[in-house]
Every structure is written in C-alpha cells, then in structure tokens.
C-alpha cells in the first residue's frame, strides 16, 4: 500500500481530535474525536465512509485513545497508508517560526513554552509521546498556532508595559489561529488572482474562539489575540478586550479571586455572558429573530467590536485587497457578515445580499457587489489539511 496519508492529531487536556488526510488531494479518509479522556465516560468516536462509530475507553486517557486509534486504523486498512503524524501545538513562543519535525530538542523547546499555554502545550506533548509510543518509526511533525504571527513587527507585538516583562518573561502579543490564517491567506490570493507577494488581506477567523489578522504580502503583520487567546474580539465565552483594571475592581470591590475572574472572562463572558442564553451564534441569531433584547445586544456588541478591530488591522497593511471571513461563524452567518460590511461601508464595502446568502455551508466566494470598491470573500478554512501539507513537505 502506498503511504499517501498523514495522520493529524490535535490533543486538548481531555480530548483528542484526529483525521487521516491525503495532503495531495485533501481527501479525508477518516476523522473523529476522543473525549472526556481520563474520566469514566471516556470514549472515542469517528466517521468512516459515511458511518459514525464509537468505542468506550473505560476511563482511559490520551494513551488509551491513541492505542484505540491505532487498532481502529488497522481494522479499517488505513494504518499502512500513513506516512507520518502531524501534531497541532498551540504555543511555539518565539522559538518556533515555522513547522518542524519532532526530535528531543523540539520536545524540550515545546515544554519550555508551556508556561505560555499551561492548558494546551502539556496536553500536546502527551499526544506526541503517545503517538511516538504507538506509531514507532513514523516521522512526527509539529505545527504551531502561533508561528504564522512571528513575522509581526516589534511595534505590533510589544505591549506598552515595563520592557523587562518582555525581556525577562516573554510577555508580548503572540496571536493564535495561525494555521488557519496561513491556509486562508493563500486561498484568498488563489481565488482572487492576487499575487501573494503583493497582497493586503484582512482575515476574520470567527468561531467559538474568534480572532482577526492582517496579512501583508503573505506574512502576518498584526492580529487581535495576544499573550493568550483572551485578547481581541468578542467570542463565544471570552470577553476580548476589556479594561485590565477589571481584575482589581472585581477583586477589591466584590471579593472575586484571581482564578474566579480569569474563569469569568474566559468561560462566562462574550456572547454567553451578554445574552445570558448561549455561547452558540446560531442560538443567539434564533433568539434575536424571536425578539430577545439581550441576544440582540450581544449580537450588536459582537459585530461592532469585530468591525472596529477589522478596520484597525487595515492600518497594519495600509489598505485591504480582500477582507476574508472564515470559521464556523464567518463561513455561515450571513447576518453577522452583512452587519459588519454595512458598518465598513465607508471604506467602500458594498454587500451583494444574494451572494452573501449563497456563501454558507461550505460554499465559498466573493460577497461584495460587482461595483463595490472593496472586496469581501468567504473562505472555508482547513487547518487539518494545512498540517498535512506541512508534514508532507517536512518528510519530503
Ligand atoms: P467553530 O468554532 O469554528 O466550529 O465555530 C462555531 C461557531 O460557529 C458557533 O458559534 C456556531 O453557532 C457558529 N455557526 C455554525 N453554523 C452557523 C450558522 N449556520 N449560522 C450562524 N452561526 C453558525
């Protein structure tokens, strides 16, 4: 059997997403997720040839999930088609400016970045070690969420804090969703016949976690997320930009602890916090249609902050050849795209309502009118394919 596929592994603290992808064709042979790892309800489920299947892991964690994945892939006749494993890693700090093959030194460097992403990097390392154990001999690569943004100029990533915090502790803006931005920026240029080396692209990656980035001539030059994914846009449960004094205010006036405030800002704010209803954009849109005022407010704040930050990013590129929407919300919510384009109308964006409606559920395309002075486009992101392609290049 020809080794044409790459196994993609994306480990969280209690979950592991996976897919087997052909990097040349983009074809996905199988995908799935192992969830509630380490709890009595742990299980692995997958979709293969249109069928959904699952297997209990009986309290097993990442190691059990990778073992189950291996035997399932062997069952399906896919094991021998795998040439390498590509791992998604959240934080590469300033060390990793691009994807690379795994060796001892790389593992140590990922570990050294763990203080920057304490919930994610340790889980990513566990996934790599489990894959090394169960898929011995297969080359492994790591693809970082942060590396695309490593080309940001100093004035974009330095926080106006005492410089020692950057020098001594690495406190700066890093940015995330980089694998998606790399994929989408390239795709936008292909779709619009733009030369990558002469392009100004602004991208909104709008999912439950949301950020936006400015891409100049194919390189990341600014982004909305920061040291952590909390900064920037309003998200499903994250607040995005707020006055940092909220910490001392809530602590001193109302006795909330640091951990409680961090939890509130990350998990109880955003669409969920404002609407007191849901973090899910679809549920918010439905509630708006039913006349729910708080859902409407959540939607208004989401769109206003988004439009304002997208416009701000255009300072980094000095203009905009294309504004791209991607992620679950960006690819599907004609309502949010419509509102944002209306607010950016003064910059020359003129939406085509029919095109905007057509570009949903996997349909990509331009959503501004033929006479629009500025172009907005919907692109389906594919981070897994990007990881597969990087891995294929790294193994030659
Ligand atoms: P992601 O994190 O990229 O999977 O995106 C998840 C977000 O996309 C959730 O807030 C969903 O509600 C939103 N989403 C998915 N489909 C739609 C849709 N048809 N209309 C509006 N939002 C959607």
Mean pLDDT, rounded, of the chain: 97
Condensed to tens digits (0 to 9), the pLDDT of residues 347-376 reads 999 999 999 999 999 999 999 999 999 999
- Ligand 1 centroid – CA 207 distance (Å): 6
Q: State whether residue 32 is helix, strand or coil.
A: strand
Q: What is the CATH number of domain 5-144?
A: 3.30.420.40
Taking only the tens place, the pLDDT of each residue in 250-273 is 999 999 999 999 999 999 999 999
Q: Residue 1 above 80 pLDDT?
A: no
Q: How far is CA 96 from the centre of its chain?
A: 17
Q: Does domain 194-383 have CATH number 3.40.1350.10?
A: no
Q: pLDDT tens for residues 330-346?
A: 999 999 999 999 999 99
Of the candidates 10, 9, 381, the one whose C-alpha atom is nearest the C-alpha of residue 206 is: 381
pTM of the predicted model, to two decimals? Answer: 0.96
Does residue 42 register a pLDDT over 90? yes
pLDDT category of residue 48 using cuts at 50, 70 and 90: very high
Ligand 1 midpoint to CA 206 (Å): 8
The rounded Å distance from CA 45 to ligand 1 centre is 21
Q: How confident is the model at residue 2 (pLDDT cuts 50, 70, 90)?
A: confident
Q: Please, are residues 125 and 111 in contact by the beta-carbon 8 Å criterion?
A: yes
The residue assigned the tokens 């492994």 is 140
Beta strands in 65-209 (DSSP E): 82-89, 100-101, 140-144, 200-206
Q: Measured from the CA of 271, which atom of ligand 1 is nearest?
A: 10
Mean pLDDT to the nearest integer, 13-20? 95
pLDDT number for residue 204: 98
pLDDT single digits (tens) 377-389: 999 999 999 999 9
The answer to whether 5-144 and 194-383 have equal CATH topology is: yes
Spatial distance between the Cα atoms of 341 and 351, rounded to a whole number of angstroms: 7
Which residues in 195-228 are b (16+ Cβ under 10 Å) and which e? eeeebbbbbbbbbbbbbbbbbbebbbbbbbbbbb
For the chain, give every domain's residue range. Answer: 5-144, 194-383
Report whether pLDDT(278) > 90.
yes
* Cβ of 286 less than 6 Å from ligand 1: no
The pLDDT of residue 165 is above 80: yes
Ligand 1 centroid to residue 344 C-alpha, Å = 22
Catalytic residue selected from 63, 75, 145, 390: 145
Is 330 annotated to bind ligand?
A: yes
Annotated ligand binding at 73? The verdict is: no
Give me the mean pLDDT over the 211-216 stretch: 98
Give yes or no: 259 in active site.
Answer: no
Chain-centroid distance, C-alpha 109: 22
281 CB near ligand 1 (under 6 Å): yes
Among residues 179, 206, 160, 176, the alpha carbon closest in space to that of 307 is found at 206
C-beta of residue 212 within 8 angstroms of C-beta of residue 232 = yes
Residue 49: Cβ within 10 Å count: 7
327 lines ligand 1 (CB under 6 A): yes
Question: Percent of the chain, pLDDT > 70?
Answer: 100
* Residue 201 near residue 317 (C-beta atoms within 8 A): yes
Contact 282 CB / ligand 1 (< 6 Å):
yes
Q: Which residue has the CA at smallest separation from atom 2 of ligand 1?
A: 207
- Residue 182 has a pLDDT of 98
The pLDDT of 221-234, averaged and rounded, is 98
């Amino acid at each position: 059997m020809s080794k044409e596929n790459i196994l993609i592994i994306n480990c969280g603290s209690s979950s592991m997403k996976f897919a087997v992808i052909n990097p040349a064709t983009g074809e996905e042979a199988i995908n799935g997720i192992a969830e509630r790892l380490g709890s009595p309800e742990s299980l692995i489920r997958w979709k293969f040839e249109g069928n959904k299947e699952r297997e209990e892991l009986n309290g097993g964690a990442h190691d059990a999930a990778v073992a189950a994945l291996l035997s399932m892939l062997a069952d399906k006749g896919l094991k021998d088609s795998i040439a390498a494993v590509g791992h998604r890693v959240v934080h590469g700090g300033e060390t990793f400016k691009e994807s690379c093959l795994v060796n001892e030194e790389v593992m140590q460097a990922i570990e050294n970045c763990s203080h920057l992403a304490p919930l994610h990097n340790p889980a990513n390392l566990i996934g790599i070690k489990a894959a090394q154990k169960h898929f011995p001999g297969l080359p492994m690569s790591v693809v970082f969420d942060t590396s695309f943004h490593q080309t940001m100029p100093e004035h974009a990533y330095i926080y106006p804090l005492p410089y020692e915090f950057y020098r001594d502790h690495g406190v700066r803006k890093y940015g995330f969703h980089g694998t998606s931005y790399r994929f989408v920026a390239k795709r936008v240029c292909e779709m619009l016949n733009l030369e990558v080396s002469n392009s100004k692209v602004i991208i909104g990656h709008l999912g439950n976690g949301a950020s936006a980035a400015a891409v100049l001539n194919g390189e990341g030059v600014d982004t909305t997320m920061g040291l952590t994914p909390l900064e920037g846009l309003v998200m499903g449960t994250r607040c995005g930009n707020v006055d940092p004094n909220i910490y001392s205010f809530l602590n001193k006036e109302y006795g909330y602890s640091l951990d409680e405030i961090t939890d509130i800002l990350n998990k109880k704010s955003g669409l969920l916090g404002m609407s007191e209803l849901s973090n899910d954009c679809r549920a918010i849109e439905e509630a708006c249609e039913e006349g729910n005022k708080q859902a409407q407010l959540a939607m208004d704040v989401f769109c206003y902050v988004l439009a304002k930050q997208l416009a701000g990013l255009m300072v980094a590129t000095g203009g905009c050849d294309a504004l791209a929407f991607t992620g679950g919300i960006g690819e599907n919510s004609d309502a949010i795209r419509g509102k944002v384009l209306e607010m950016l109308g003064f910059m020359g964006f003129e939406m085509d309502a029919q095109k905007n409606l057509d570009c949903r559920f996997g349909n990509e395309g331009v959503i501004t009118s033929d006479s629009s002075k500025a172009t907005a486009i919907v692109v389906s992101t594919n981070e897994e394919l990007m990881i597969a392609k990087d891995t294929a290049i790294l193994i030659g």
